[in-house]
Amino acid sequence: MTARVPLGDPTPRAVAVVVRGAKLLVIARRLDGREYAVLPGGGIQAGESAADAAVRELAEECSLAGTVVRHLFDGDHGGRRASYVLVDVPEGEPVLGGAEAEAQSEDDHYQPLWATAGELPLLGLLPEGIAELVTAEAWPLRVAEAAPDEWPLLERLWQLYQHDLSEFRHSAPDASGLFTRARLPAYGERDDRVAYLARLGDVPCGFALVQGIGRDERLMGEFFVTRSTRGRGSAAAFAGEVLARHHGPWAIPFQNENPRAAAFWRRLAGEVLVDVSEQTFAVPGKPHLPRDVWLSGTQPAPS
């Protein structure tokens, strides 16, 4: 018997893009020995809009009631047109239903599940290339100054940041299990400093603390993105946006013993800054530690 081919139905398709926090609803598939994943969806019926079809297919396949948020984009789905629709599903867990539940077998298996952006390549989401498109639409990067009521969030991210740095600076939490807030409070108290928060969609993913606002040179005092965010281009986009908001001279300190950060800043500076140079300085009060690297360069003004 000839093995069935994934995405073989020629009917124009509506696709439900369902995001909950940092996770996306997918259906893991096993078809005649091949394992992959797809987004919930199916053929658009005569007289039916793509948005209505996406909501209907979601209810049939995953037993979830949703509300259309907006049309995201049109794309290809195995040679047929597909409309991708963002659907809000505030509660409930997916349970396989409809024709998929009736067809369920060892050789034709369906499993609805929530997946992070980092898991999509592991699941083999089809069609090829759709994971990157959906990720960009589902979790767009948003950068804004931290509002007063967001400081508790910033302080929690600070703990993750200090944990990362403890590998290179040999610091440790106090008796309560917390790292010192150290320099953080000054970014909410001084006019020459600003704190930026980054989110992917609604999910907090990092911060940038900038000194020297209103001065001739800005300083990237602290910069952090969560580990699950790294390696996806979001950190570079975040840092690049912060630099672009303050054109002119910049100084960016980092440590060579943190090779990932050193490579990140050198690569980014080469891409977005001009007149880039480096100097090294002793760590204040800690002459026994490796010297800090200070990268200097200029963010050009918009043309």
Rounded distance between C-alpha atoms, residue 89 and residue 19, angstroms: 8
Are 170 and 99 members of one domain? no
Rounded distance between C-alpha atoms, residue 213 and residue 193, angstroms: 6
DSSP three-state, residue 249: strand
> pTM, whole model, 2 decimals?
0.88
Are 156 and 238 members of one domain? yes
- Among 113, 124, 11, 118, which Cα is nearest to 62's? 113
Are 168 and 112 members of one domain? no
Are 216 and 263 members of one domain? yes
What residues contact residue 28 under an 8 Å CB cut-off, 6+ apart? 35, 36, 37, 109, 110, 111, 112, 113, 123
Do the beta carbons of residue 197 and residue 226 sit within 8 Å?
no
CATH number at residue 206: 3.40.630.30
63-101: pLDDT as tens digits: 999 999 999 999 988 788 999 999 999 999 999 999 999
- Other CB atoms within a 10 A radius of the CB of residue 21 amount to 11
Are 40 and 83 members of one domain? yes
Answer yes or no: is 88 within a domain: yes
Are 104 and 229 members of one domain? no
User: Which residue is it, tokens 């767009």?
Assistant: 140
Residues in the chain where the model's pLDDT stays below 70: 1-9
- Confidence at residue 1, expressed as pLDDT on a 0 to 100 scale: 45
Task: Please say which residue of 138, 172, 190 terminates a domain.
Answer: 138
Number of domains within the chain: 2
Quote the domain boundaries for residue 248: 141-299
Are 152 and 291 members of one domain? yes
- Confidence at residue 156, expressed as pLDDT on a 0 to 100 scale: 98
Omega of the bond prior to 90 within 30 degrees of 0, cis?
no
Which tokens belong to 168?
A: 């290179």
Are 164 and 280 members of one domain? yes
- Confidence at residue 154, expressed as pLDDT on a 0 to 100 scale: 97
Are 202 and 286 members of one domain? yes
